[in-house]
Amino acid sequence: MITNPTRRRATVKLLAPLVALGLVAAACGSDSDDDSSSTDAPTDSSAPAGSDVPTTEMEMMDGPTIRLRGQDFSESVTIAEVYGQFLHAKGYDVEVLTPAGFRTEAIDSIQNGDVDLIIDYIGGSLTALVPDAPTSADPDEIAALIGPAYADIGATLLNYSSAVDGDAFVVRGDSEATTISDVAGLDYVFGGSAACFEREQCFIGYTDPDLYNITFADTVTLEFGPLLGEALSAEEVDAVQWNTTAPQIAENGFKVLEDDLGLHPAQNIAPIINTEVLDAYGAQLGADLDELSALITTADLLAWNTETDIELRESDAVATEWLEASGLI
C-alpha cells in the first residue's frame, strides 16, 4: 500500500510526454475555438461558446475565460479543482489547465499571461518574490509584503485562507528530539528536495551558524513527496523537509519538530489573480473567491491529501465531493 503513491508518480511521469503532446494539440485547437467564439458572441448571446459543460439552468457571468492551473503535487491539484469547480458553479467561464511545474512556473505563467489564477502558499510566494525580506509567522505581515510584489507583475493577491500547509521538519516517531534545535547534537542524515538546499527557510537556515547551526552527517536529495516518507521509514535518512499536511506523517507515526527559532514562514493558501481579469468581472469575482478561501481549513487540506495520496482517489472527484458536502455546488 505504501508503495502505491510512488508507483503512481512513476506512471504519471511516463505519461507526461504524451499528456504534453495532447496539451499542445488541445491548446492549438482551443485557440481557434476562442477566436471563433469571440466573433460569434456578439451575434449569438444565447449560446455561450467555449464551455464543455451543459449550462442550461446556469446564468453565465459576462467576462473573459479564467484559466487556472495547480502546481504539480496532489494538494495543489485538488485546491485548483476546488477553486475551478466553485467558480464554474458560480457561472464563471473557467478552464482548469493540466497541473504543471511548481511555484516558479506558476508565478512566471501569471506574469506572462498564460494563466489567470493561481493559488499559492503565501510564505513560499514571499521567498520567490521578495527573497531579501525577513520571514514571519504572521500571515498579515507576509500578505503586506507580497501584495505589492504581485501588483508589480499585474496580479492581485486576494484574502488568504485560514488553511495552512506549512514547512515541516519531520523525524521518525522514536527520535529523541522535540524541537529542531534538539537535532543539532544528533548527527542526523537530512533528506530534502533540490530546492530545499538553496533556501534560507530550509537547509541553509538549519545549518546557519547564527540560527539552528545543525551539522548533518550527510544529505540526500530526494523528490518531494511520498519518497521522503519511504526514505525516513527505511532509515536512509533521519530527518526530512516535508509539509505539515502530508498525510503520511500520521500514517507512519512520524513527528513534526517544533520550529523553536521561528524559521518557517506562515504558509496560508491564497488566490492570486490577473488584475485585468479581476477588474473585468467587477467586485463580484473577488468576493466569491474570498468567500471560498474563508471556508477552507487546514483540516480540509489534510483530508483531501489523505483521499488523494493514501486512498488514491482523483483530485477532481475529491474536490467535487467537498464542494457538495459544503453546500457550495
Which residue ranges make up the site for another protein (CB under 8 A)? 2-3, 6-7, 9-11, 13-14, 104, 131-132, 193-195, 197-198, 200, 203-204, 207-208, 215-216, 218-223, 227, 230-231, 233-236
Of the pair 2, 20, the CB lying nearest another protein is at: 2
Of the pair 254, 281, the CB lying nearest another protein is at: 254
What stretches of 122-217 adopt beta strand conformation (E)? 155-157, 167-171, 189-192
Residues whose CB falls within 8 Å of the CB of residue 84, separated by 6 or more in sequence, listed in order: 68, 94, 95, 96, 319
**Minimal distance, residue 177 CB to another protein, in Å:** 20
In sign, the C-alpha dihedral spanning 87, 93, 99, 100 is negative
**Minimal distance, residue 160 CB to another protein, in Å:** 24
**Minimal distance, residue 104 CB to another protein, in Å:** 5
Of the pair 1, 325, the CB lying nearest another protein is at: 1
Of the pair 13, 35, the CB lying nearest another protein is at: 13
**Minimal distance, residue 52 CB to another protein, in Å:** 32
In sign, the C-alpha dihedral spanning 45, 51, 54, 57 is negative
**Minimal distance, residue 36 CB to another protein, in Å:** 37
**How far is residue 289's CA from residue 158's CA, in Å, rounded to a whole number?**
8
**Minimal distance, residue 1 CB to another protein, in Å:** 11
**Neighbour-count burial of 225, counting CB atoms closer than 10 A to its CB (0-12 exposed, 13-18 middle, 19+ buried):** buried
Label the pairing between strands 94-97 and 66-69: parallel
**Minimal distance, residue 310 CB to another protein, in Å:** 15
Of the pair 222, 296, the CB lying nearest another protein is at: 222
DSSP 8-state assignment for residue 164? B
For the chain, the straight-line distance linking the first and the last C-alpha, in angstroms and rounded, comes to 33
**How far is residue 265's CA from residue 82's CA, in Å, rounded to a whole number?**
25
Other CB atoms within 10 A of residue 153 CB: 15
Of the pair 106, 272, the CB lying nearest another protein is at: 106
What stretches of the chain adopt beta strand conformation (E)? 66-69, 94-97, 117-121, 155-157, 167-171, 189-192, 218-221, 239-243, 255-256, 269-274
Closest CA to 99 of 70, 68, 67, 66: 70
**Minimal distance, residue 13 CB to another protein, in Å:** 7
Of the pair 123, 226, the CB lying nearest another protein is at: 226
| Bridge partner list, 262 | none
Of the pair 11, 284, the CB lying nearest another protein is at: 11
Closest CA to 111 of 285, 278, 273, 267: 273
Of the pair 12, 27, the CB lying nearest another protein is at: 12
DSSP 8-state assignment for residue 99? P
**Minimal distance, residue 55 CB to another protein, in Å:** 40
